[in-house]
Amino acid sequence: MDMTGEERIAAPRDAVWAALNDPEILKQCIPGCQSLERISPTELTATVKLKIGPVSASFNGEVKLSNINAPESYTISGEGKGGIAGFAKGGADVVLKEDGGETILQYEAKAQVGGKIAQLGSRLVDSSAKKLAQQFFADFTAAINSQSGV
């Protein structure tokens, strides 16, 4: 599954970059995130509870940041195991471009799922992934705006 998108955020690039690297902000914005902890400057561990169609699962996984070019871009990748529900793994290239006092966040993501989740069919999984991405960016934009007082 591949997804690309672009979000306009009414905040300067440095503020958006800082938020993308703040585990507390990410934890608030990732749908179903139960915990998110930094274990090194480029590694985090996460627990995320999701329901996709009839399947509910709690995923435990690791997230890694690479190709870091602050405050412009990075690659985020991760893998989560959800027991009998299966696994999810993937990554995204994220680019931040300045546009006046605002920031354009562009992403290109790839993901794979296996186990019971994969048996739900690609249409349901793809539409669920798109909804989760939309929810993340809506919450992320709101978190940045509340921080910067916009």
What would the mean pLDDT of 38-59 be, rounded to a whole number? 92
Q: Which helix (H) or strand (E) holds 132?
A: helix 122-148
Counting Cβ atoms within 10 Å, is residue 69 exposed (0-12), middle (13-18) or buried (19+)? Answer: exposed
Supply the pLDDT for residue 15. 95
Pick the CATH number of 2-148 from 3.30.530.20, 3.40.50.2000, 3.10.690.10, 3.40.50.300: 3.30.530.20
Could you give the 3-state DSSP secondary structure of residue 39?
strand
What would the mean pLDDT of 39-50 be, rounded to a whole number? 95
Residue 145: pLDDT band (50, 70, 90) is confident
Is pLDDT at 150 greater than 60 in this prediction? Answer: no
So where are the chain's domains? 2-148
Q: What is the pLDDT of residues 99-143, one digit of tens each?
A: 999 999 999 999 899 999 888 888 888 898 888 888 998 899 999
Q: What is the pLDDT of residues 67-104, one digit of tens each?
A: 999 999 999 999 999 998 999 999 999 999 999 999 99
